[in-house]
């Protein structure tokens, strides 16, 4: 946890932004794995609840009465049977005091608080629920059917939370730096273990174990696969094969649940082939170019398309694309190779605040998403960058056989793509390089004191000597 004053200041600012009404911020309940007493481990608290109330225990709700300037932590104290199995924990009253909340009450009190507010026609603000137990609780409290709850969520509260959580304070950046340290250990572990004959699942398990050993948990399910063209490919029992590429996309959460998210692509044999190196060098150049362009006031969408134009020019040199680069990108031809956005916001969630809907987080009234064009419709972030934002920089080039076949059959973007040459790359896989970037006053910088090797020669040298 941060110091008590941090949570007090956050809630005070939230009250100022929301102006009136009652704010409900639900913590998560324990989630059963395959029967009620066998819960998923470790417990993961809701990020917005952590941001404002800081406590990791399950079964808590934060209530902020904006008009009366009062705050209450709602939750039931555990009984002796739980203490026998799990040990003693602080009372709800003690947890409230730790984060500067004056009042506490058992869960049954929440029904009365909501009923009184409804009777007085006061606005009750809540964020979009994403777990079904919370949806049912909201149904009981407010009478809003789960199917209608997303529409009934408070845009005032969403905008306030996005405004606050988007800009990282110095203490949050320190926590993100700690996550980057764990991320470095995870990825260098993968690089050390990568060699022909070792299975994808074994290495992914070692990567996951590193996250659990040094922090709280992985920030998302680890991707470790020789099929890098599958964007979210899960590790399989397949042994690594000489001559192929393997892609590792993994991150950690600190004990305070701030995230890292990095991707590296490496040759299983320890040395890139010439064809692999040609594609890798393009991704490497795009990754580094984003760092030159990104700074406060620049739209992230413009950074994305600047990278796409560079990628297109370089792919033309290899004969995989053709025609005018600007026109090719405008037509979406680059999405044959890069069908996702350049990156996303990151913080306490690896896709920061995704539960609040990416259109509210990554876009604003000035910058709207393009939901019609393939590839462009997958941008999670487009708005102007501000000092204190943390975004991922993750260009990639993928050769997806099914996509090649579909576009070739339909003649889609045929004036910009060399389908005959693409046919020879169907067995290539995919390459992605990803790092976490803090937007600074004048530009941007990587997070993490140690750089996970990503320049081709550095990757080869690390794998050779480790």
CA gap 378, 359 in Å, rounded: 11
User: Is there a single domain that holds both residue 131 and residue 173?
Assistant: no
CATH number at residue 93: 3.40.350.10
User: Is there a single domain that holds both residue 343 and residue 213?
Assistant: yes
Torsion sign, CA atoms 328, 330, 336, 339: positive
The pLDDT tens digits of the residues spanning 78-90 come to 888 888 888 888 9
pLDDT confidence of residue 273: 98
- Produce one character per residue of 247-279: b if its CB has 16 or more CB atoms within 10 Å, e if not: bbbbbbbbebbbbbbbbbbbbbbbebeeebbeb
pLDDT confidence of residue 101: 98
CA gap 394, 392 in Å, rounded: 6
Regions of the chain short of the pLDDT cut 50: none
User: Is there a single domain that holds both residue 178 and residue 150?
Assistant: no
Residue 219: closest CA among 171, 262, 170: 262
Ordered DSSP codes for 117-164: HHHTT--EEEPPP-SHHHHHHHHHHH---GGGHHHHS-HHHHHHHHHH
Q: Which of 146, 164, 182 is the last residue of a domain?
A: 164
The pLDDT tens digits of the residues spanning 230-266 come to 999 999 999 999 999 999 999 999 999 999 999 999 9
User: Is there a single domain that holds both residue 241 and residue 274?
Assistant: yes
CATH number at residue 438: 3.90.230.10
CA gap 10, 19 in Å, rounded: 14
User: Is there a single domain that holds both residue 158 and residue 174?
Assistant: no
User: Is there a single domain that holds both residue 371 and residue 407?
Assistant: yes
User: Is there a single domain that holds both residue 159 and residue 202?
Assistant: no
109 phi-psi bin (left φ>0, alpha ψ -120 to 50, beta other): alpha
Count of structural domains, the chain = 2
User: Is there a single domain that holds both residue 78 and residue 196?
Assistant: no
User: Is there a single domain that holds both residue 51 and residue 172?
Assistant: no
User: Is there a single domain that holds both residue 177 and residue 160?
Assistant: no
pLDDT confidence of residue 446: 95
Torsion sign, CA atoms 150, 154, 157, 160: positive
> Rounded to an integer, what is the distance from CA 423 to the centroid of its chain?
33
Residue 415: closest CA among 323, 317, 335: 323
User: Is there a single domain that holds both residue 281 and residue 334?
Assistant: yes
pTM of the model: 0.95
Helix (H, G, I), strand (E, B) or coil at 341: coil
pLDDT confidence of residue 190: 98
Q: Which of 120, 137, 164 is the last residue of a domain?
A: 164
Contact indicator for 33, 39 with CB cutoff of 8 Å = yes
User: Is there a single domain that holds both residue 113 and residue 178?
Assistant: no
Q: Which of 164, 184, 210 is the last residue of a domain?
A: 164
Domain of residue 22 covers 2-164
Question: Could you give phi then psi for residue 343, rounded to 5 degrees?
Answer: 175, -175
Question: Could you give phi then psi for residue 339, rounded to 5 degrees?
Answer: -85, 15
pLDDT confidence of residue 80: 87
């Amino acid at each position: 946890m941060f110091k008590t004053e941090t949570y007090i200041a956050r809630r005070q600012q939230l009250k100022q932004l929301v102006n009136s009404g009652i704010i409900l911020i639900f913590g998560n309940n324990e989630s059963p794995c395959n029967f009620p007493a066998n819960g998923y481990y470790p417990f993961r608290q809701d990020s917005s609840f952590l941001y404002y109330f800081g406590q990791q225990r399950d079964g808590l709700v934060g209530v902020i009465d904006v008009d009366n300037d009062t705050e209450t932590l709602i939750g039931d104290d555990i009984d002796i049977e739980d203490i026998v199995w799990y040990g003693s924990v602080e009372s709800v009253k003690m947890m409230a005091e730790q984060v500067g909340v004056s009042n506490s009450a058992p869960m049954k009190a929440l029904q009365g608080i909501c009923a009184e507010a409804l009777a007085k026609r006061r606005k009750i603000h809540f964020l979009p629920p994403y777990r079904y137990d919370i949806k049912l609780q909201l149904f009981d409290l407010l009478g809003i059917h789960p199917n209608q709850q997303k529409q009934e969520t408070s845009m005032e509260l969403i905008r306030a939370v996005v405004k606050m959580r988007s800009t990282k304070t110095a203490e949050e950046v320190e926590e993100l730096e700690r996550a980057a340290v764990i991320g470095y250990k995870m990825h260098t572990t993968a690089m050390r273990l990568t060699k022909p004959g070792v299975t994808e699942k074994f290495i992914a398990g070692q990567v996951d174990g590193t996250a659990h050993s040094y922090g709280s948990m992985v920030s998302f399910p680890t991707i470790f696969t020789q099929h890098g063209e599958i964007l979210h490919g899960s590790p399989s029992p397949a042994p690594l094969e000489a001559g192929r590429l393997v892609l590792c996309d993994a991150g950690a959460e600190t004990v305070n649940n701030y995230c890292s998210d990095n991707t590296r692509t490496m040759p299983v044999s320890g040395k890139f082939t010439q064809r692999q190196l040609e594609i890798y060098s393009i991704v490497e150049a795009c990754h580094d170019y984003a760092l030159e362009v990104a700074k406060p006031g620049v739209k992230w969408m413009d950074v994305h398309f600047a990278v796409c134009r560079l990628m297109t020019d370089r792919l033309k040199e290899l004969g995989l694309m053709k025609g005018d680069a600007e026109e090719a990108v405008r037509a979406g031809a680059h999405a044959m190779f890069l069908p996702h956005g350049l990156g996303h916001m990151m913080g306490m969630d690896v896709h920061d605040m995704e539960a609040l809907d990416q259109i509210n987080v990554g876009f604003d009234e000035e910058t709207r998403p393009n939901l019609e064009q393939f590839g462009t419709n997958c941008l999670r972030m487009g708005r102007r960058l501000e000092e204190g934002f943390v975004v991922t920089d993750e260009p990639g080039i993928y050769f997806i056989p099914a996509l090649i076949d579909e576009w070739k059959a339909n003649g889609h973007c045929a004036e910009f793509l060399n389908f005959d040459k693409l046919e020879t790359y169907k067995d290539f896989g995919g390459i992605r390089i990803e790092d976490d970037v803090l937007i600074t006053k004048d530009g941007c910088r990587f997070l993490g004191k140690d750089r996970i090797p990503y320049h081709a020669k550095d990757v080869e040298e690390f794998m050779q000597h480790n």
